[in-house]
A and B are shown apart, each in its own frame.
Chain A
Amino acid sequence: MTQQAAPAAAPSPASGPGQRDGRTRQRSLGLRLLARPEVGVFLGAVAVFVFFLVMAPTVRQGSSMATVLYQASTIGIMALPVALLMIGGEFDLSAGVAVISSALTAAMISFQLTMNVWVGVLVALVLSLAVGAFNGWMMVRTGLPSFLVTLGTFLGLQGINLAVTKLVTGNVATDDISDMDGFDQAKSVFSSSFHLGDVQVKITVVWWLVFAALATWVLLRTKYGNWIFAVGGNKDSARAVGVPVTFTKISLFMLVGFGAWFVGMHELFAFNTVQSGEGVGQELIYIAAAVIGGCLLTGGYGSAIGPVFGAFMFGMVSQGIVFAGWNPDWFKAFLGVMLLGATLINLWVRQSATRR
């Protein structure tokens, strides 16, 4: 567990003679701050941001930042539950296609039954939570690693997305639902935008920050948050001290399902139709945002704010390259180098903070 309140003892001088040995020495406030999981990625994000401010004049406009934040938000909303799940010691490879499954379900239920789109939205929510519950239940029940279970779900959903869509609609994309009842309402919830000064901001950015605040509060201030750290740290000792391990793990997977539903609804109401082959590969981007954000792949360590910066960094780099007008043939290579660089800053900060 990382988030323990530090005792307010006065810091001792860094190299005073005749002190106790260094291991028990109280570290300075600055160093303690640097040791938090989100600080490294925060500095990395700032570095990337400043870099592009200098390199790409367009980034300095408010509207460009809105574009970066929009890209970051669609990754970030999913990166949050994925990060919580990761802190809880598990992994979800099906998160990318689950987004599309949810969007497909909502579109097809609404269209095929000629229903108010909210019916589709609710059915999709039930389905998304059910997929999460299935992942969690299967994993707890069989004791298989979550990597394997969710790989199965990933492939399964990918096939079902295609086959069911083709079976139901006769095409591999869903029909346009933009002229149906409830669409405008749902659009205002999931994919509208508003003006902040003369900058158009997407609603997903607001949702992203709201969810991040909520996740931080849950993680740091609630019993459930403690359970997440406990099951991720050591499942057996957690169980021994009375943490409901099964409940915690299944509910974390369902939280990822909720995130997939939310992003799926955004995509549906932003683009009116959904192609059934999309979403593949996105799961790795969500996981990357969480890991860059300071969550350990081994579980038990991390924060909810870290992935916010992780997703921001991803959005900043991928849009910044375009804003800078660099040769696009190198796009992926730039992306990889910058992400790795930012992650190294992150690592270096954490190491130098915990070394002394």
Chain B
Amino acid sequence: MDRTKHPRSRRAALVATAAISALLIAGCSSSSGGKKAEDDAKGASAGKADTPRMTVALVTHQAPGDTFWDIVRKGAEAAAAKDNIKLIYSADPSAGNQANLVQNAVDQKVDGIAVTLAKPDAMKDVIGKAGQANIPVVGLNSGLADWKKLGLLQFFGQDESVAGEAFGKKLNEVGAKKAVCVIHEQGNVGLTQRCDGVKKTFDGHVETLYVNGTDMPSVKSTITAKLKQDSAIDHVVTLGAPFAMTATQAVGDAGSKAEVATFDLNKSLTDAIKKGTIEFAVDQQPYLQGYLAVDSLWLYKNNGNYSGGGEQPVLTGPAFVDKSNVDRIAEFAAKGTR
């Protein structure tokens, strides 16, 4: 009968499909690269404190899927694990929403809040509320000019202008004459400060170029177009690691001889520095920002410490990474923590 035959043939077909796919999968293994080749090295670990469990909220202005902020978060998580802290991480690039997230942390009566001040005015009220609730607040990453005004305990970050100025000096050292500064998010204050800093100390000429950061092919063709339009450009300055990688391709496409240098690091960037396709990177050490911000709240609660005495910010950058020191840093970058 058809009825009895049907399921069996279907089962046979299923078995056959499974067998074929298993064979295919076995035959299709890659002999190089991939997970197999990746180290299963873990991030830094420094034991664990036996202090009472506390809760810390880290609220940033991260845009979804950004490699930089992922490293900040990893640093914060490492410190939280060490200090017996429960870390609540939340982020929103829009200032109003970020303020709501801080309010949410205040409502939860956390033991400490670490916050970025990309748009300080929007955060003023809610930081005041945290103060009324006796919750210590520290700042990180952005807000160097405002953290004291808003009554934050301490601040960990990089002065974007200082970093830009250091970058400009380094460009002088390597003999650059004309640079283009690629901004991947039009209207971002920190990114603009970086380019302005470069302009201030660089003896050559700097031009700004805006690209659409959410669309890599468009980033590539826009940089290519700029290099073609102005063949005198000998340095492309990018403000994020993934854009630096794309810029190297644009340089190739445009048939230009320009060098690429960048702000911020990631995994593939250290390889590029080793190979020499990227000249240098200035690193603000995002891992350190996240780590110190969380750790400082623990120290404040358990030992009453203030980093910088509550008067001076703690600078985490600019640290330069180039061929001379990349090997040491690459091993950490490979873990996605540097």
Q: Contacts A173-B67, A278-B215: A179 and B32 contacting too (C-beta < 8 A)?
A: yes
Cβ of A271 and Cβ of B246 under 8 Å apart? Answer: yes
Is A94 engaged at the interface, CB distance under 8 Å to the other chain?
Answer: no
A-facing mask of B30-59, CB < 8 A → 1, else 0? 111111111000000000000000000000
Cβ of A325 and Cβ of B64 under 8 Å apart? Answer: no
Is B255 engaged at the interface, CB distance under 8 Å to the other chain?
Answer: yes
The CA of A176 and the CA of B241, in the complex, are separated in Å by 14
Is B210 engaged at the interface, CB distance under 8 Å to the other chain?
Answer: yes
The CA of A332 and the CA of B249, in the complex, are separated in Å by 24
Nearest B-chain residue to A57, judged by Cβ: B229
B222: contacting residue among A267, A278, A285, A322, CB under 8 A: A322
The dominant DSSP class at the B interface is helix
Min C-beta distance of A301 to chain B, whole Å: 28
Cβ of A267 and Cβ of B70 under 8 Å apart? Answer: no
Cβ of A173 and Cβ of B221 under 8 Å apart? Answer: no
Min C-beta distance of A114 to chain B, whole Å: 3
Is A117 engaged at the interface, CB distance under 8 Å to the other chain?
Answer: yes
The CA of A331 and the CA of B30, in the complex, are separated in Å by 44
Cβ of B229 and Cβ of A323 under 8 Å apart? Answer: yes
Cβ of A166 and Cβ of B70 under 8 Å apart? Answer: yes
Q: Contacts A115-B25, A200-B253: A279 and B63 contacting too (C-beta < 8 A)?
A: no
**A173 partner residues in chain B, CB cutoff 8 A:** 65, 67, 70, 242, 266-267
Count of chain B residues with Cβ under 8 Å from any Cβ of A? 52
A277: contacting residue among B37, B65, B218, B267, CB under 8 A: B65
Cβ < 8 Å to B, chain A residues 146-176: 158, 161-162, 165-166, 170-173, 175-176
Count of chain A residues with Cβ under 8 Å from any Cβ of B? 64
Cβ of A115 and Cβ of B267 under 8 Å apart? Answer: no
Cβ of A318 and Cβ of B255 under 8 Å apart? Answer: no
B-facing mask of A312-342, CB < 8 A → 1, else 0? 0001001100111100110110000000000
**A114 partner residues in chain B, CB cutoff 8 A:** 29-30, 33-37
Min C-beta distance of A115 to chain B, whole Å: 5
**B230 partner residues in chain A, CB cutoff 8 A:** 325
Is B17 engaged at the interface, CB distance under 8 Å to the other chain?
Answer: no
Nearest A-chain residue to B24, judged by Cβ: A119
Is B268 engaged at the interface, CB distance under 8 Å to the other chain?
Answer: yes
**B210 partner residues in chain A, CB cutoff 8 A:** 328-329, 331-332
Is B1 engaged at the interface, CB distance under 8 Å to the other chain?
Answer: no
Min C-beta distance of A269 to chain B, whole Å: 12
The CA of A137 and the CA of B103, in the complex, are separated in Å by 41
Cβ < 8 Å to A, chain B residues 47-87: 63-67, 69-70
Min C-beta distance of A34 to chain B, whole Å: 32
Min C-beta distance of B302 to chain A, whole Å: 30
A279: contacting residue among B31, B66, B214, CB under 8 A: B214
Cβ of A162 and Cβ of B65 under 8 Å apart? Answer: yes
Is A192 engaged at the interface, CB distance under 8 Å to the other chain?
Answer: no
Cβ of A71 and Cβ of B65 under 8 Å apart? Answer: no
The CA of A171 and the CA of B66, in the complex, are separated in Å by 9
B-facing mask of A268-293, CB < 8 A → 1, else 0? 00111101111111100100000000
Min C-beta distance of A14 to chain B, whole Å: 46
A282: contacting residue among B215, B222, B249, CB under 8 A: B215
The CA of A36 and the CA of B31, in the complex, are separated in Å by 54
Min C-beta distance of B275 to chain A, whole Å: 12
B228: contacting residue among A67, A176, A179, A280, CB under 8 A: A67
Cβ of B33 and Cβ of A111 under 8 Å apart? Answer: yes
Cβ of B267 and Cβ of A275 under 8 Å apart? Answer: no
Cβ of B216 and Cβ of A111 under 8 Å apart? Answer: no
Nearest B-chain residue to A271, judged by Cβ: B216
**B253 partner residues in chain A, CB cutoff 8 A:** 67, 200
The CA of A328 and the CA of B30, in the complex, are separated in Å by 45
The CA of A118 and the CA of B70, in the complex, are separated in Å by 29
Is A63 engaged at the interface, CB distance under 8 Å to the other chain?
Answer: yes
Q: Contacts A58-B228, A270-B249, A331-B186: A110 and B218 contacting too (C-beta < 8 A)?
A: no
**B66 partner residues in chain A, CB cutoff 8 A:** 172, 275, 277
Cβ of A115 and Cβ of B64 under 8 Å apart? Answer: no
The CA of A111 and the CA of B37, in the complex, are separated in Å by 9
The CA of A252 and the CA of B283, in the complex, are separated in Å by 47
Cβ of A58 and Cβ of B34 under 8 Å apart? Answer: no
Cβ of B266 and Cβ of A71 under 8 Å apart? Answer: no
Nearest A-chain residue to B34, judged by Cβ: A114
**Sample of 6 more A-B contacts, CB < 8 Å, known A277-B63, A319-B221:** A111-B34, A114-B30, A162-B65, A175-B267, A176-B33, A277-B66
Residues of A with Cβ closer than 8 Å to B? 56, 58, 61, 63-64, 67-68, 70-71, 74, 110-119, 158, 161-162, 165-166, 170-173, 175-182, 200, 266-267, 270-273, 275-282, 285, 315, 318-319, 322-325, 328-329, 331-332
Which 5 pairs, one residue from A and one from B, show the smallest C-beta to C-beta distance? Answer: A277-B65, A114-B34, A180-B33, A71-B221, A276-B65
Residues of B with Cβ closer than 8 Å to A? 24-25, 28-38, 63-67, 69-70, 186, 207-210, 212, 214-218, 220-222, 224-226, 228-230, 242, 245-246, 249, 253-255, 266-268, 271, 336
